Amino acid sequence: MHIAIAGNIGSGKTTLTKMLAKRYGWTPRFEPVDNNPYLSDFYADMERWSFNLQVYFLNKRFKEVVEISKSNDTIVQDRTIFEDARIFAPNLHATGKMSDRDFANYSDLFDLMMSLVNLPDLMIYIRTTIPNIVAQIQKRGREYEKSIRIDYLQGLNDRYEEWISTYKGHLLIVDGDNTKFESNPEDFKQITDMIDAKLYGLFPLE
């Protein structure tokens, strides 16, 4: 089974992935951030490095999806291939940081990949606002994230909302501003209760 966790930068995806993996005994798959050879360059010069960065993510994410589809384990994934293609790449293109040519090439590649894989069995979307995102980014203190602009984060948030409003698969939405699952056991239990209802209730996923 494939459980995917989606949400903007700093929304708590990695924390929730770790907590759910521990709670259910699922196998976690984390976003390849620290080993990404393009990330620091991208934040320093988005126009130059946007295509390289997005193709790197797409390559890594597609490999993960294929591996997950072949696994007998229940896997919980930190960020999905859909976010790369439906949020980050379109946002870069719309703001002039990815050329028409590169975006068309990228989109064709994504469409081909998606013709070969299925949606996750359950998508968990952490919905959060910009002030909360900024606070989380400051809290974790990653050097390369300090230069991220507010308007960039807002553009991502808008695209997340647009994408999730049309998502066709099984979906749970977590209020990332008011559900402090990382520090409040009752808030985390609310999430696991929703997951249990989806996976093991009277009308489980089909």
Active site residues: 78
The full DSSP string for the chain is -EEEEEESTTSSHHHHHHHHHHHHTPEEE----TT-TTHHHHHH-HHHHHHHHHHHHHHHHHHHHHHHHH-SS-EEEES-HHHIIIIIHHHHHHTTSS-HHHHHHHHHHHHHHHTTS---SEEEEEE--HHHHHHHHHHHT-GGGTT--HHHHHHHHHHHHHHHTT--S-EEEEETTT--TTT-HHHHHHHHHHHHHHHHSSS---
